[in-house]
Chains A and B, each alone.
Chain A
Amino acid sequence: MERNGKHSAARSDHIVVRNLSLGYGERLILQDLNFSIRRGEIFVIMGGSGSGKSTLLRALIGLVEPLAGEIFYGDLNFTTALEERERVLRRIGVLYQGGALWSSMTLAENVGLPLAEFTDLGPDEIREIVSLKLALVGLKGFEDFYPNELSGGMRKRGGLARAIALDPEVLFFDEPSSGLDPVSARLLDDLILELRASLGATIIVVTHDLASIFAIADRALFLDPERKTATALGHPKELLANSTDPKLRLFLTRGEAANEEAKP
Chain B
Amino acid sequence: MTVTSVLSSANTRQVEITRDASLGLVVSLKGRWRIGRGLPSVEGITDRLKDDSRPEKIVFDTTGLESWDTSLLAFVVRLIGICRQHGIRVETEGLPQGLKRLLELVESDEDRSAPNEETVSKKTEFHPSLLERVGLRALGFYATWTSLLEFIGQVSIAFAKLLLGKARMRFSDLVVQVYGCSARALGIVSLISFLVGTILAFMGAVQLQQFGATIYVADLVGIGIARDMGAMMTAIIMAGRTGAAYAAELGTMRVAEEIDALQTMGIAPIEFLVLPRFIALVVMMPLLCLYADFLGMVGGASVAAGVLGISFRAYFHRTAAAVTLGSMLGGLVKATVYGVLIALAGCWRGFQGEASSAAVGSATTAAVVDAIVWIVVACGMFAFIFRILNI
Contact = CB atoms under 8 A, between A and B. Distances in A.
Contact of A96 (B176, B252, B260, B267): B260
Interface residues of A, number: 23
Q: Find the residue from A58, A61, A90, A100 having the highest chain B CB count within 10 A.
A: A100
Q: Find the residue from B252, B260, B266 having the highest chain A CB count within 10 A.
A: B266
A61 to B, nearest CB: 5
Interface in B235-269: 252-253, 256-258, 260-267
A19 interface: no
B48 interface: no
B258 A63 contact: no
Main SS of the interface on chain B?
helix
A86 B266 contact: yes
Contact of A100 (B168, B176, B261): B261
Interface in B159-206: 168, 176
Contacts of A100: 256-258, 260-261
B265 A98 contact: no
Contacts of B266: 86, 89-90, 118
B256 A98 contact: yes
Nearest to A102: B258
B253 A61 contact: no
A159 B253 CA distance: 15
A117 B267 CA distance: 9
A96 B261 contact: yes
Interface residues of B, number: 15
6 contacts: A62-B264, A90-B266, A98-B257, A100-B258, A103-B256, A162-B261
A129 to B, nearest CB: 16
A183 B287 CA distance: 56
Interface string A90-108: 1010101110111110000
Nearest to B263: A63
Contacts of B267: 113, 117
A103 B248 CA distance: 13
A114 interface: yes
Contacts of A118: 266
A76 to B, nearest CB: 13
Interface in A107-124: 113-114, 117-118
Contacts of B257: 96-98, 100
Contacts of A159: 261
A104 B253 CA distance: 10
B261 A92 contact: no
A102 B250 CA distance: 11
A118 B265 CA distance: 10
A96 B265 CA distance: 12
Interface string B260-294: 11111111000000000000000000000000000
A97 B260 CA distance: 12
A66 to B, nearest CB: 16
A132 B173 CA distance: 25
B264 A63 contact: yes
B256 A114 contact: no
Interface in A152-170: 159, 162
Given A97-B257, A98-B256, A118-B266, 13 more contacts: A63-B264, A89-B266, A92-B264, A94-B260, A94-B264, A96-B260, A96-B261, A102-B262, A103-B256, A104-B176, A113-B265, A117-B168, A162-B261
